[in-house]
Amino acid sequence: MFRFLSLSICLLAILAPVSSFSDTATAILQSDDEPEVAALPLVAESSPNRLLVFSKTAGFRHNSIPAGIQCMKELGAELGFEVVATEDSAIFTEEGLDGVSVVVFLNTTGDVLDPAQQAVFESWFRSGGGWLGVHAAADTEYDWPFYAELVGAYFKSHPRIQSAIVVVEDSEHRSTRMLPGLWRRQDEWYTYRMNPRPHVKVLATVDESSFEGGGMSGDHPIAWCHDTLGGRSLYTGGGHTVESYVEPAFRDHLRGSLCWVGQLPDPAEKDNSKKDEATDQVTD
């Protein structure tokens, strides 16, 4: 049904003894005596590993969407994806998701998928898909019960854009381990309708004493993940501003998030030793 699963298993079996895809590809191209693995490029060409960036809006439209798409194209290319960016929900068919291993909802808003498209997306995710929701992904599909579980919490309101301290709660997770333990950055900090903590793994919170208008009684998750619905879901609340998508630390967070939901190695991940230097050095 979804070819990426069998392809992934096939690729894992082939790639297992070697260090990286690019090394393997080079070795295969230069090899004359390994006919059984020489078929790999043909397999990869017919079934590329696709990253689908979906940014359809049926409500508020963020002016950072083009910057977000550009960022996702760059990160996707770094990670070896073929990146497809669209606002056309007609792509949510079995054929349209063929070869797609990660879907990003990038500042989507409102009711963006019809019932048939929802059914295809849900089946795709439950079959082992990876989903990354960015910022207004929490302001999307309020009447779809599966999506409520997928995203973890819906948007309620937001105060003005301002600087705040993000507290990394999981310093080992793929999406947060490169970040300083206390990470000051500027964004639009969403208040959510419920605290997702009972149902998800919280990766980071935003310190409500560090900004005005928190509204979540002191426990304010801002990034979280779960793998309880058959695939991997990660939501991160940053990404309102254009500047977010050229901010090195936020890009590292997005890259790590893509790696986690897509179960990928991350060739661009920086040495973890830098984290200790930055920890607790919070400045404006």
Binding footprint of Zn ion on the chain (CB under 5 A):
188, 240
Contact criterion met (CB below 8 Å) for 179 and 168: yes
Task: Find, among 224, 227, 254, 219, the residue nearest to 239 by Cα.
Answer: 254
What tokens were used for 273?
Answer: 């030793």
Please name every residue paired with 223 in a beta bridge, in sequence order, or none if there are none. 204, 236
Closest separation in Å from C-beta 158 to Zn ion: 6
Closer Cβ to Zn ion, 147 or 155, answer by number = 155
Closest separation in Å from C-beta 81 to Zn ion: 25
Task: Find, among 126, 150, 168, 149, the residue nearest to 256 by Cα.
Answer: 168
Which residue in the block uniquely carries the two structure tokens 């381990």? Answer: 177
Task: Find, among 203, 204, 210, 135, the residue nearest to 165 by Cα.
Answer: 210
Closer Cβ to Zn ion, 92 or 155, answer by number = 155
Closest separation in Å from C-beta 60 to Zn ion: 7
Closer Cβ to Zn ion, 158 or 197, answer by number = 158
Closest separation in Å from C-beta 188 to Zn ion: 4
Cα 254 to Cα 13, 39, 113, 208, distances in angstroms:
28, 33, 24, 23
Closer Cβ to Zn ion, 174 or 240, answer by number = 240
Closest separation in Å from C-beta 237 to Zn ion: 9
Q: By beta-carbon distance, which residue lies closest to Zn ion?
A: 240
Closer Cβ to Zn ion, 139 or 169, answer by number = 139
